[in-house]
Amino acid sequence: MLRITLACGSTFSAPASGTWQNGYFFGAPSQSNFANSPVNSTFDIAFVQHEPVSVCTTLIDKPFTQNLAECARHFAKSYDYATKPGTVTPIGSVQFISPGVSSTAVAFTSIKYDARMAKDPTVTLYSTGTGAANTVRNVSSGTDATASAQVVSETGFGGAGTSTAQAAFSQINFHYTADTGL
């Protein structure tokens, strides 16, 4: 039996909190009386889990792996799981060599998401050298270039288009986030 007590008199209030008490108690010591609360006061219950066994299960409505797989349809990133987007790190980044033509401002490489997105996402690129959004890192020159994702779809995108041409055969690195906004 699970009881939620909003008001309790001294007869059914426990003598002490945080310890097991012998008796039949509904309320905590010095508990306030919700019935004496100001007008328009609310009492909200967001989640209750009661398990009448000695070992309780985790306090979540579904396994973590299932929740992660469902979220992957709405958000993806190249950063490691615990790394915040915009962090300066080359670990996990997309790396490729720019085309052999220095006049081009588009570098194509195939980037696939772990799961098909619910719709075409908004892709943000991040420099591995500065963490700046909407940029890629030209490792060969040690500079950033303003860039945007090219050929974005539900399954991935086709590379980075820079606002200026990069020298032929330059090493380009970047991280990305893909967010459907759902």
Domain that holds residue 134: 75-179
Same domain? 39 vs 80: no
Whole-structure pTM value: 0.67
Same domain? 85 vs 117: yes
44/67 Cα distance (integer angstroms)? 25
Same domain? 170 vs 81: yes
46-64 pLDDT, tens digit per residue, is 877 777 777 777 776 788 8
Q: What is the 8-class DSSP label of residue 78?
A: S
In this structure, which amino acid lies at residue 54? S
3/1 Cα distance (integer angstroms)? 7
Task: Using the 3D structure, point to which of 59, 87, 105 is the last residue of a domain.
Answer: 59
Alpha-carbon distances, residue 105 vs 101, 117, 149 (angstroms): 9, 27, 12
Residues of the chain with pLDDT below 70 are: 1, 60, 100-107
48/39 Cα distance (integer angstroms)? 26
